Structure 1
Amino acid sequence: MRCPFVCDEEETASTAAPARHMGETSEELWINAPDRVFVARGGVSQRVPVQLTDATVRDLVERMLHSTGRRVDLSQPFVDASLPDGSRLHVVIGGIAHRHWAVNIRKFVARYRSLDRLVELGSLAGEAAQMLREAMREGRSVLVSGATHAGKTTMLGALVAASPAAHRIVTVEETFELGVEAPDLVAMQGRQPSLEGTGEITLRRLVKEALRMRPDRLVVGEVRDAEALDLLLALNTGVPGAATIHANSAADALGRLAALPLLAGRNIDRGFVLHAVATSVDLVVHCERDASGFRRVVEIVAPTGRIAGELPEVRTVYRAGRRT
């Protein structure tokens, strides 16, 4: 099934209109209201001249969800789903969003999913790419940090692609986004609860299941909750990992990774968590997006294994120069 924004000839002009703007260079499309449609290209958003109706937006969403096994309605007003082309769909229905449905479709461009390609684009220096390539080959654990839309998922995909062909890779995500390919790969995604509140599959459960699959590398699409504890426990047993996390700097990323496991319960010891982060993460790659929309790796740090105050101590192993 194609994304319904790519429409057949017999469909109405209003329904087909978004397809003209969701081209190869587009990264994301979102609908705030039937007459307020935006597209992001090269990290910069712009409004596009599209006029839809509420009924058309709802019909598009239903068609996109048809093959995903997920739904959105009054009982479940939010949905995150992977579309057949690898794009990610997020929807908030009207009533939660003011008046109109809010729809986001994020594309993930496969041609950027290699370290060499990121070097060609100027997003990563050659020496930094070689350092990361060696880290993946040697089975070191790498954390990718940055703000929203900073290129974290793209960088994580490029790192996974740099893994040796003989490595068995197991990925866990809330919705499929990485889109990586490897000779020995198992990709798993979570599941929302049913109408009865049963059947939910959390990232914590997926991480635990992944460890039973003999992974040479465990990949977590994004660490944002108590699954951080299960990831740290896995890293401390010698399983190499890779993951993304929202943070303002590489050092801040380690602090956040040390704080998230506390969400797993009140009996979690912060001292143990800090030590686990300091000794199990080998590199943190921090990505940024500037005002022009350009994304790049600005620093790479390595924890020293020691604790400085309330945070793991780090040393900078790479810092990008200023753009001219």
Structure 2
Amino acid sequence: MIAEILSYYGQPIADLRADPEITDIMINGHERIFVERDGRIERSAARFPTAERLDEFVRQIAHNLGQTIDARTHPILDARLPDGSRINAVLQPVAIGGTVVTIRPAPHRHLSADELVARRMLTPAMLARIREGVEAAESLLTAGGTGSGKTTLLRAFSAFIPAEERIVTIEDTHEDLVPGERHVVRLEAALRRRQLDRDQITVGMDRLIVNALRMRPDRIIVGEIRTPEAAEAYVRAMNTGHGGSMSTIHANSAGETYLRLRDLLTSAAPAVPPALHEETVRANVRLVIHVARLRIGSDVRRRVTAMSESARGPDGLHTRTLWRYVPEADSWEDSRCAA
């Protein structure tokens, strides 16, 4: 049914959704539609015939996904379409000047780690260290802002997990973290938005992470750590012998990633001193890869801005930067030999 709705009500943007080079479709009212293509935002000639047609497009999608959107009580829609595309919509009057819709089409194919190197998102040496860490079951976090490429990196790195291992993925919204034919069990916390029975049972990320420990996983991959409860469950999983876990998290730098996870743990367990939480994070998160969207000349490109590792030395746990991105040269500084 969603396919028919997209075909009929969404006909003005059908060509944009089918274009493999477009990574975002941004509808700012029915007459102004922009797209992101190869890192650049440009205006499209596409338009909806009327504001009412655009609103009906959004309402029909919400209805067929079992969600509600209306201008008075539920003016925001955030959902995943059956093909994996993400859609966010905000109705008037919350959206001033017309309904705003943002669609992130599902990628027509996933980029491999080697393709990311070819696009200069990271270097061959960095990739070799990541491959080595994943194969050795070192825990890994990719960090950055919204749309920076965290999940793209995580998905590419998952290919380094040995083929014989059983993987459990846990996501707030399914994004196919481990593509291809693998031994994968996929869990989705979005079940919390569905009516499972009269009491509307909640199945959150934390509960799924705890349950994953009973599913004989070799690896646990969490789509994104957002809440204190999920952070606590994730670190607990790593702390109970499940090395090689992988996830993403919002953070402004590689160094801030450890602090962000520490703060989430402190919120979940305030009775424990923050310093102890920080030590727990550094003991269990081996590699942090921070990625960002950067303007390079007239283009916007994604670059790994820093890669750090946690290690135990004579003075205890410490974190060191392995590579740091130098914007002026659009290259990376290798810090592995630094004291």
Aligned residues: 315
Matched, 1:21 2:16: yes
Cα RMSD after superposing both structures: 2.7
Match of 1:244, as an amino acid? T
Give deviations 1:171-198, integer Å, cap 9, x for gaps: 1121112453241112222234468883
Which residue identity does 1:302 align to in structure 2? E
Q: Find the counterpart in structure 2 of residue 51 from structure 1.
A: 47
Instruction: Quote the residue 2:143 is aligned against.
Output: 145
Residue of structure 1 equivalent to 2:213: 211
Per the alignment, residue 317 of structure 1 pairs with 322
Partner amino acid, structure 2, of 1:139: A
Residue of 216, 221, 224 corresponding to 2:223:
221
Distance 1:199 1:59, change over 3 A: farther
Q: Is the 8 A contact 2:154 2:177 kept in 1?
A: no
Note the alpha carbon deviations across 1:140-196, whole angstroms, 9 max, x for none.
Answer: 100101122211110011111221111211111211124532411122222344688
Corresponding residue SS for 1:27: strand
Aligned counterparts of 1:134 and 1:108: Cα–Cα separation in 2: 29
Q: Which residue of 2 aligns with 1:187?
A: 186
Which among 304, 309, 316 is matched to residue 302 of structure 1? 309
Match of 2:69 in 1: 72
- Cα distance per residue 1:248-271 (max 9 Å; x no partner): 211111111111122325334423
Task: Tell me which moved more, 224-233 or 81-90.
Answer: 81-90
**Uncovered stretches (5+) of structure 2, i.e. residues with no partner:** 332-339
SS at match of 2:132: helix
Is 1:243 aligned to 2:250, yes or no? no
CA contact (8 A) 2:311 2:318 kept: yes
Percent identical: 32
Evaluate the alpha carbon distance shift between residue 202 and residue 183 of structure 1 in structure 2; reply closer, same or farther with a 3 A threshold.
Answer: same
Aligned to 1:34: 30
The separation in 2 between residues aligned to 1:42 and 1:204, in whole angstroms, is 36
Alpha carbons of 1:277 and 1:27: their partners in 2 closer, same or farther (altered >3 Å)? same
Residue in 1 aligned with 2:123?
Answer: 125
Per-residue CA deviation, residues 211-257 of structure 1 (Å, 9 max, x unaligned), is: 22222111111112111111111111121311111112111111111
8 A contact 2:143–2:254 mirrored in 1: yes
Distance across 1 between alignment mates of 2:281 and 2:120: 30
Relative to structure 1, the CA distance from residue 302 to residue 201 in structure 2 (aligned partners, 3 Å threshold; closer, same or farther) is same
With normalisation by structure 2, the TM-score equals 0.83
Query: Secondary structure of 1:294's match?
Result: strand
With 61-70 and 227-236 compared, the bigger mean Cα shift is at 61-70
Kept in 1, the 8 Å contact 2:151–2:177? The answer is no
User: How many angstroms apart in 2 are the aligned matches of 1:157 and 1:149?
Assistant: 14
Q: In structure 2, which of residues 227, 232, 236 is the aligned counterpart of residue 233 of structure 1? A: 236
Contact kept, 8 Å, 2:89 with 2:100, in 1: the verdict is: yes
Q: AA paired with 2:183?
A: D
Q: Which amino acid aligns with 1:230?
A: A
Displacement of 1:92 in angstroms is: 2.8
- For 1:38 and 1:139, locate their aligned partners in 2 and report how far apart those are by CA, in whole Å: 42
What is the CA–CA distance in structure 1 between the aligned matches of 2:187 and 2:26, rounded to whole Å? 26
Counterpart for residue 336 of structure 2: none
Change (3 A) 1:272 1:229: same
How far apart are the structure 1 equivalents of 2:318 and 2:69? 44
2:160 to 154, 159, 162: 162
Contact 1:112–1:118 (Cα < 8 Å) also in 2: no
Match of 2:334 in 1: none
SS, match of residue 31 in structure 1: strand
The residue identity in structure 2 corresponding to 1:16 is Q
Change (3 A) 1:104 1:290: same
Partner Cα distance (1:5, 1:149) in 2: 27
In structure 2, distance between residues paired with 1:66 and 1:180: 30
Q: Is the 8 A contact 1:278 1:305 kept in 2?
A: no
Shift of 1:40: 1.0
Deviates more, 1:137-146 or 1:160-169: 160-169
**Aligned partner of residue 233 in structure 2, secondary structure:** helix
1:283 corresponds in structure 2 to 287
Is the CA contact (8 Å cut-off) linking 2:87 and 2:101 kept in structure 1?
A: yes
Q: With structure 1 as the length reference, what TM-score do the two structures score?
A: 0.86
Equivalent-residue separation in structure 1 for 2:53 and 2:171 (angstroms): 30
Q: State the SS of the aligned residue for 1:213.
A: coil
Contact 2:306–2:325 under 8 Å retained in 1: yes
